[in-house]
Amino acid sequence: MRAEKNVSDTFSRSHPIADTVAPHFELAYMTVFRPFAAACCLLLSACALAAEPLLPQLQAYETDDSWRQPVSPFPLADNSWYIGTGTISAVLVKTPQGAVLIDGGLPQAAKMLLQHMHELGVQPGDLKLILSSHAHIDHAGPLAEVKRVAGARVLGNAESAVLLARGGSDDIHFGEGLTFPPVSVDRIIMDGEVVELGGMRFTAHFTPGHTPGSTSWTWHDQHDGKTLRIAYVDSLSTPGYRLIGNPRYPHIVDDYRRTFAVVRALPCDLLLTPHADGSGWTPAVTAAPHPKPMTCRAYADGAEAKFDAELNKQREARR
Ligand SMILES: [Zn+2]
């Protein structure tokens, strides 16, 4: 075993990708790539003319305009504010020791978020913590820029930390299709962990499925002199996901099932979701932003019904 390790160590130093390929790679390189390189030299003009594919970040990610349309910040409770766009949520919670941001939206939302914070009397240096639901471009897109400007610490679980650090690259379902500026997580959080700032306590609930690191957050705020239990519950959708026999996520169905049960039991006087309309909100209509908000139970029930329909469809397709 030791001899094998030494070979591997030597190989690692000369080939950064050694972790993922066998040591036979060197032999393969000699037999395959060298003749190829030689052929390229002989046919230099043809090789030089071969076009590289578009970098994934240059491909358009088309969304409905409402995903990018800023709306004026409005209060959710005494200390919690909606500062996102027409349909993509970003929540700011103010405390005596600084502010907490939960989710940001698409990458181009960074300036809007900082402007909205300014309007609420929160300067960049006042933002202390950044929490998130999941590492997809439409929710984690501007976190790197906001972190750079504000110097806030990003908290997330281990699964999300990996995907955030890769900027969404090598996503289980989307591959390189939906990348965003990578952001490093400064503190790894655990399921059930409570994060505290200025007397506000945010509990992390792991709700994997939509991504392996999907996280929902609950906290207490005050509204009309009463305690309001707020639940920011992650997406429960399956946008184009392979649910059966997915080699990258073998237990995806089990994770969703557990998550539906967790969401049903959350403390939840006020439900918010990363896609605001997913829980009956219309932030674009700031005069009446929540005409028909849902309970956490109804949100989980509706999502599970859609999940079951999709699972059945995929089962039928395999017959
Ligand atoms: Zn997503």
C-beta of residue 218 within 8 angstroms of C-beta of residue 231: yes
Distance CA 75, CA 302 (A): 27
C-beta of residue 299 within 8 angstroms of C-beta of residue 273: yes
139 included as an active-site residue: yes
Residue with tokens 């997580």: 185
Where helices occur in the chain by DSSP H, the ranges are: 2-14, 25-28, 34-42, 44-49, 110-119, 137-140, 143-150, 158-165, 252-264, 296-318
138 included as an active-site residue: yes
Distance CA 145, CA 139 (A): 13
Of 72, 71, 128, nearest to 102 (Cα)?
A: 128
241 included as an active-site residue: yes
Q: Find the catalytic residue in 116, 139, 173, 205.
A: 139
Angle at 275 between CA 181 and CA 301, to 5 degrees: 130
Dist. CA 275 → ligand 1 center (Å) = 9
The per-residue pLDDT for 13 is 29
Of 217, 160, 209, nearest to 307 (Cα)?
A: 209
290 included as an active-site residue: no
Q: Find the catalytic residue in 134, 173, 205, 290.
A: 134
Dist. CA 106 → ligand 1 center (Å) = 11
Angle at 101 between CA 136 and CA 230, to 5 degrees: 95
Q: Find the catalytic residue in 82, 116, 138, 171.
A: 138
* Residue 299 per-residue DSSP state: H
136 included as an active-site residue: yes
Distance CA 203, CA 10 (A): 45
DSSP string, 93-118: EEETTEEEEE--BSGGGHHHHHHHHH
Q: Is the pTM of this model over 0.85?
A: no
Q: Tokens in use for 159?
A: 């699964």
What lies within 8 Å, CB to CB, of 7 at 6+ separation is 23
Distance CA 54, CA 49 (A): 15
Q: Tokens in use for 131?
A: 């929490």
Residue ranges in the chain modelled with pLDDT below 70: 1-61
